[in-house]
Amino acid sequence: MTSSVLSGFGLVVIKTGSSLIFNAKRGPDVVWLKNYLEDIKTLINRGHKVVLVMSGAVALGRWHIGSGQKSGANRQSLASVGQFEMVALLHEVARDVGLKLGQVLLTVEDSDNRQKYLNSVATLKQLLNVGVVPVINENDVTSTALAKIGDNDRLAARVAGMINADALVILSDINGLYNKDPRTNLDAKLINRVDCIDETVMTMAGGSGSAVGTGGMLTKIMAAKMATSHGCNVLIANGSFVDRKLSDMKFEDCTLLVRQMDVISERKRWFGQKFITHGKIYLDENAQRAMLSRKSLLAVGIVKVEGDFPIDSKVAICDIDGNQLAIGLVNYDSFAIHNIKGMRSDEIRAKFNFFDKDEIVHAENIVLI
């Protein structure tokens, strides 16, 4: 069996950018798509389970109806046409290759709502169990600016966390992360391994990417930071397949960003994303130090509450100046927290009969930013 960069990774999410699938002058690249799906089939035959995240619906829609406008409503109509055309194209090529595909459209609401999140995870796992390759895209037809996950790099990172993938592969039109822009610096060197995504790495990733897609290297590194914090290894590799396909690519051909060893639980993966929060809690300095030491949040350390939210809501936890420190799930609604903020637990019990938990936010329900 041929060894590749993916050897040892069982469940893999692979994200492809618009520039690989679509050419603004020539339209969809059917030859590339066939090579890509054949490569996916090779990986599956080797025992991998694969989930695909694919960009290009808006660009494909614009190609078919010839609109150059970029307003929100027009983008959604372009996505409607493009998603239909993308499914038709994928179905035709996959049938020739011998792959079974299933489309899954996701929005923030599908991730933010616990039941929708669990339903999405169950659907993805069931498709994989019956030998179908899920093809995922953000649902641009129904998403609003406030309800968008963002670029598809971060969508892929979100999916990788949802299904506890072993690896996320982000295919681009360059080999990976370089110490400087390889398009303008002949001496640029490919970085093969990143153990910690720090400010130095973020700085190296600065700059824009393809004109067709929305995600440059910086968004890829931001997505990698999200995925590695969920215990998922990330690979950034060249998907143009000029030299080699993914099935026989080596570590020296790409960039590996190593997962964090402190893997968070599935529940924390769900609520730890900075998508939609329903209010804010402001802490004094003592409460901040306690929380940063992985302790629970008590009422005595709360100085202010903003928003109107029920029990079990996701809230932003901030310092007194409003800088966000964490996200947490509250044990009490906003009205109750407002009435007991700044009070010790024994004081609250003496005054209120609803107080049955000392923790306003339990340590297990806090994800530090």
Round to whole Å and give the CA distance between 358 and 346. Answer: 9
Long-range interactions of 188-193: CB distance < 8 A, separation 24+: 190/254, 190/255, 191/255, 192/251, 192/252, 192/254, 192/255, 192/256, 193/251, 193/255, 193/256, 193/258
Per-domain residue ranges for the chain?
A: 11-269, 277-368
Q: What is the 3-state secondary structure (H, E, C) of 258-279?
A: CCCCCCCCHHHHHHCCCCCCCC
Query: The domain 11-269: what is its CATH number?
Result: 3.40.1160.10
* pTM for the whole structure: 0.75
Round to whole Å and give the CA distance between 304 and 337. Answer: 9
Listed in order, strand segments (DSSP E) in the chain are 11-16, 22-23, 27-28, 49-54, 101-106, 133-138, 167-172, 193-194, 233-238, 255-257, 280-283, 297-298, 302-306, 314-318, 324-329, 359-361, 366-368
Sheet containing 49-54: which strands, arranged edge to edge? 101-106, 133-138, 49-54, 11-16, 167-172, 233-238, 255-257, 193-194
Round to whole Å and give the CA distance between 8 and 110. Answer: 30
Quick one: tokens of 338? 């407002």
Q: What is the residue whose two structure tokens read 């409607």?
A: 80
Round to whole Å and give the CA distance between 241 and 249. Answer: 10
pLDDT tens track, the chain, 369 positions:
456 889 989 999 999 988 888 877 788 889 999 999 999 999 999 999 999 999 888 888 888 887 555 555 677 888 888 888 889 999 999 999 999 999 998 876 666 667 788 888 899 999 999 999 999 987 766 655 444 445 788 889 989 988 989 999 999 888 999 988 887 888 989 999 999 998 888 888 874 444 333 347 888 998 998 889 888 999 999 998 766 789 989 989 999 999 986 556 666 666 655 557 889 999 999 999 999 888 999 999 999 999 999 998 889 999 999 999 988 989 999 999 999 999 999 999 888 887 888 999 998 888 887
CATH 3.30.420.40 matches 277-368: no
